[in-house]
Structure 1
Amino acid sequence: MSARRVRPTVRQVAERAGVSTATVSNALNGTGRLSEATRRRVVDAAHALSYVPYTSATAQARGGTGMLGLTLATHGDLAVPYTQIPYYAELVLAAIRTAHYRGYLLTVLPASMSAWAWLTTPLDGIVHCEPRVHDPIRAILERRGIPLVFAGRPLESRRTDAWIDTDDGAVLTELLDHFRAGGATRVAAVLPRHDDAYPTVLRRAYDDWCARVGQEPVVADFDPDLTNTGESAAVRELLRRSPRPDAVLGVYTDSGRLALEAALELGLDVPGDVAVACFSDDPAYVHLDPPVTTVSLRPTEVGAASVELLIGLVNGRRGLERQRLLPAELQVRASSTRTATPAVRAPRRRPPR
């Protein structure tokens, strides 16, 4: 195991900036009579060393309450409304509930923060959700020298990393086998062009499955956007191909709805002409026509387990299981279940957006 990171000290900042420790305190607290050049030099030195002038660990040592943070991966300039996405809403609530039960406060940090804000927000430890392949936040958080747990396995995971994730590759294989058992011979995937670890893991599992069963991969790519315009166009283009896929899966919360809308627009029966599944979950999918097959990625368990692991690291517990894969759950419904005889087509109501 690697040596414990040592937090930078005010004396190190003072030495780097060429000032006294009192000057460092005044510069970072906005007090004292300092020139703007001196104040800037101190701030730059503190930033370079990842020095945090105050952390809640100090308050905890004095009998106060510890403060944990939860962060979400950035998506470029997209202001993703995470709390409106069922998976993240459940994960965040479970994380808060677990932290409060264990006597800690937990703050959810917005995805769009400056590097300085990530470095200076007073926290004892952080849960970072859905790290990207080349995650800009990960490097910043690791500079803090405080415990860090990933909710979602980093693709470039190291032996000393701590993470909780679901076994997405295994359940995707189960879903693809389910399609094939129902008679599908041309199973397609609709995947985002983004360096999240999540779609990258799914693409690898999909390609491996195709190689195993002898099917050529059928993929429609799209650039994520908040209006679903890119994914909607991708799934429509996919269903117009010749030969047309006879099963389609998407990986975001709205993917199942978008696939049903596209099939309805093109006059296709689900699941008679094309089976549909969504590699995510939303309670509303049970009530669509037909009900959509989904995968539960167990956000409540991931959020709770991530906080429990973080608290163990904060308190220096030994023998912790630092890397855990939880089983995900396939929820098979009518959208992917073909009957032995052709279904009688009936008018369908348009799925709600």
Structure 2
Amino acid sequence: MAARAGVSTATVSNALNGTGRLSEATRQRVLAAARELGCAPASTARAMARGGTGVLGLTMTTYGDLPVPYTEIPYYAQLALGAMAAAHERGYMLMVMPSSLSPWMWLNTPVDGVIHVAPRAEDPVRSLLRERGIPIVSDGRPPQPRWGDAWVDANHEAGLRLLLDHLAESGARRIGLSQPLYDDTYPQLIGRAYASWCAERDMPALVEEYVSLPDYFTAERDAVGRLLNRDPRPDAVVGVYSDSGHNILAAARHHGLRVPRDLLVACISEDPDYATTTPPVTTVSLRPDRVSDEAVDLLIALINARGGVDRHRLVQPVLVPRRSTRHTVRRGNSTP
């Protein structure tokens, strides 16, 4: 668009967002180029919203165009509801956008700013939003951050350490990790935090990796099965996705292990069902309600060019201990 209008990228951003000191002729030339290329100005979002209210977008592109039911995943569902509440409290509308919009739609959907959830490496949506000059706040640190990027993230390292410390206090000395492989930052942070924790305590790092798509459930259960087939086997297993606790419990049953007597189980998840599993599973909450509130606050600050804003924010997780980690683990593989 900048080349079509014969101006710089910064001038395009100023023209489309109604900012900067531009002549009216320059602004109209950029808008004409935008219309020719099918790119609606981001500032039209405010005009389209009822009563002049601004419009924020929230999009989740972690799995690209795959039909992932985000509203059925507790973390994403709570994040979207929290962002909606936070936006409404601040006088903005929130539009939850599907991950499968075409590039043309990304270039035309009228929004003042976007919360981009768990962006992938070289995420095309991120590039398209940048091209439009739309402010972006990432939920999660971008895999390939640029100077000036803004993000809000749960403190994943602190969350994993909460779980590992809790398991160690419960008697675990061989803690296994089922490690997903994907190109967002979360699994990488978890892997580094786990390796660091094990090294600090001179404990073995017991990791089984799995590809999280297309059949995540079977892949993780197989990974946990490989952990439990080790000799000596782990006395505890940690999972880091929402359904990991269910998958670990299923693998333990398959191997004839009793939880927590033979194996301690814990995971990072917002799923309330873990309070009623057999046994109830210890979890760490990443506090998506707080993440979304901080993301909305930061995004509105960027939209309004508020000065002195912290562009990198961490939300502290919370441990929820339950029966699956309550008993001290017996040493060795012998039965009592």
Q: TM bucket by the smaller chain?
A: 0.7 to 0.9
Query: Take 1:59 and 1:77, find their aligned partners in 2: how far apart are those partners?
Result: 30
Query: Take 1:254 and 1:113, find their aligned partners in 2: how far apart are those partners?
Result: 27
Structure 1 residues 163-178: aligned runs within 5 Å: 163-178=151-166
1:314 paired to 2:314? no
2:234 partner SS: coil
Equivalent residue for 1:7, pick from 8, 12, 25:
12
1:274 paired to 2:279? no
1:116-151 CA distance string (max 9 Å, x none):
222221110011111224433322222221211111
Shift of the alpha carbon at 1:61? Answer: 11
Shift of the alpha carbon at 1:338? Answer: 1.7
1:177-217 CA distance string (max 9 Å, x none):
22222222211111111111111110110111122122332
Equivalent residue for 1:216, pick from 191, 197, 204:
204
The structure with the larger Rg is 1
1:264 paired to 2:253? yes
Q: 1:157 and 1:251, CA in 2 relative to 1: closer, same or farther beyond 3 A?
A: same
Q: 1:215 and 1:55, CA in 2 relative to 1: closer, same or farther beyond 3 A?
A: same
2:259 partner SS: coil
Instruction: Give the aligned residue type for 1:229.
Output: T
Q: 1:66 and 1:175, CA in 2 relative to 1: closer, same or farther beyond 3 A?
A: same
Query: Take 1:5 and 1:322, find their aligned partners in 2: how far apart are those partners?
Result: 20
Unaligned runs of 5+ in 1: 29-41, 343-353
Equivalent residue for 1:145, pick from 133, 140, 143:
133
Equivalent residue for 1:97, pick from 61, 85, 89:
85
Equivalent residue for 1:122, pick from 110, 114, 118:
110
* Contact 2:65–2:99, Cα closer than 8 Å, also in 1: no
Instruction: Give the aligned residue type for 1:291.
Output: P
Query: Take 1:108 and 1:80, find their aligned partners in 2: how far apart are those partners?
Result: 14
Q: 1:271 and 1:61, CA in 2 relative to 1: closer, same or farther beyond 3 A?
A: closer
Equivalence for 2:219: 230
Query: Take 2:252 and 2:302, find their aligned partners in 1: how far apart are those partners?
Result: 49
Equivalence for 2:145: 157
* Contact 1:74–1:112, Cα closer than 8 Å, also in 2: no
Equivalence for 1:74: 62
Query: Take 1:298 and 1:308, find their aligned partners in 2: how far apart are those partners?
Result: 16
1:316-335 CA distance string (max 9 Å, x none):
21122221111101111111
Q: 1:109 and 1:187, CA in 2 relative to 1: closer, same or farther beyond 3 A?
A: same
Query: Take 1:322 and 1:149, find their aligned partners in 2: how far apart are those partners?
Result: 9
Shift of the alpha carbon at 1:260? Answer: 0.8
* Contact 2:42–2:132, Cα closer than 8 Å, also in 1: no
TM-score under structure 1 normalisation?
A: 0.80
Shift of the alpha carbon at 1:282? Answer: 1.0
Structure 1 residues 202-213: aligned runs within 5 Å: 202-213=190-201
Structure 1 residues 19-30: aligned runs within 5 Å: 21=32, 28=35
* Contact 1:189–1:248, Cα closer than 8 Å, also in 2: yes
Equivalence for 2:319: 330
1:13-39 CA distance string (max 9 Å, x none):
9989xxx94xx68xx5xxxxxxxxxxx
Structure 1 residues 82-93: aligned runs within 5 Å: 82-93=70-81
Instruction: Give the aligned residue type for 1:126.
Output: V
Shift of the alpha carbon at 1:271? Answer: 1.5
1:246 paired to 2:235? yes
Query: Take 1:101 and 1:195, find their aligned partners in 2: how far apart are those partners?
Result: 34
Shift of the alpha carbon at 1:171? Answer: 2.1
Shift of the alpha carbon at 1:227? Answer: 5.7
* Contact 2:140–2:151, Cα closer than 8 Å, also in 1: yes
* Contact 2:174–2:234, Cα closer than 8 Å, also in 1: yes
